[in-house]
Amino acid sequence: MNCLLITGASAGIGLHTAESFHKAGYQVINLSRRRCPLDFVTHINCDLSEPGFIEAIGPQITSTFQNADKIVLVHNAAKLVNDSAIETPSNQLRDVVETNLIAPNSLNYFAIPFMQTGSSILYVGSTLSEKAVPGSFSYVTTKHAMVGMMRSTCQDLAGRGVHTACICPGFTDTEMLREHVPEEAMASVAAMSAYDRLVHPDEIANTLLWAAENPVINGAVLHANLGQIEN
């Protein structure tokens, strides 16, 4: 039995990823505050920003992991706020770090002992994992750090048959994007891709499935953005 444990599969990339892995024969477990609307997904309600969340939900996952031949852990959930390095107090940054970095580490710490050869840890990064724009200080900071976490995980798992990768979507047509980009600006955002359109969540989901099944990309950062035009 193959198992996908994913965070934030209630919408957007996470939702489509859950569906893609299910079609490939995986049992899917979602961790999020909002319920995943797919009937075949086992939903475990939790708040990734709460320290100690894994202790509360771990027993609900253990039996599945013990019977899994392969585990894929996808760190998809993330917090995005519009903030500035000049005006962001540390307690606000700490809140974003808790969701975007500490929660993935907690899940890694829990899941790795169960992972057999062929398993993988996949991080959903961003174009902003390797560049920056104004007004996204905490998101840029944590997405850069996520790349470091992925590369460190790769090195420390050497010899165990478990691979890692960071998939970095470009502008993807999700609720998160539409919450932060006004509708009248959406055409301009789409025009920033070489294909003059937004990435579809299915495209990222299928890239994650491919990454899970191809250990040759161990330690890689893969940009999935349709070729972003740099000005």
Per-residue model confidence (pLDDT) at position 181: 67
Which amino acid, one-letter code, is at 181?
Answer: V
Q: Does any domain span residue 60?
A: yes
Within-domain flag for 231: no
Q: Which residues contact 59 (CB under 8 A, 6 or more apart)?
A: none
d(CA 132, CA 177): 16
Residue range of the domain that includes 148: 2-173+200-224
Q: Answer whether residue 53 is part of any domain.
A: yes
Alpha-carbon dihedral 74, 203, 144, 2, rounded to 10 degrees: 20
State the CATH number of the domain containing residue 153: 3.40.50.720
Closest CA to 201 of 230, 224, 227, 228: 224
The answer as to whether 189 is a domain residue is no
Amino acid in the structure at residue 95: D
| Residues 90-122 pLDDT 10s | 999 999 999 999 999 999 999 999 999 999 999
Residue at 159 is within a domain: yes
In a domain, 207, yes or no: yes
| CA dist., res. 171 & res. 193, Å (int) | 8
- How many helices (H) and strands (E) in the chain? 8, 7
Q: What was the pLDDT predicted at 185?
A: 64
pTM assigned to the model? 0.94
The domain total for the chain is 1
Regions in the chain scoring below 50 on pLDDT: none
Alpha-carbon gap, residue 17 to 121, rounded angstroms: 14
pLDDT of residue 188: 74
Note whether residue 179 is domain-resident.
no
Inside any domain, residue 229? no
Strand partners, 172: 199
Residue 180 CB coordination number (10 Å): 14
Q: What pLDDT is stored for residue 133 in this prediction?
A: 87
Q: How far apart are alpha carbons 223 and 89 in whole angstroms?
A: 31
Which tokens is 101 given? 């970095």
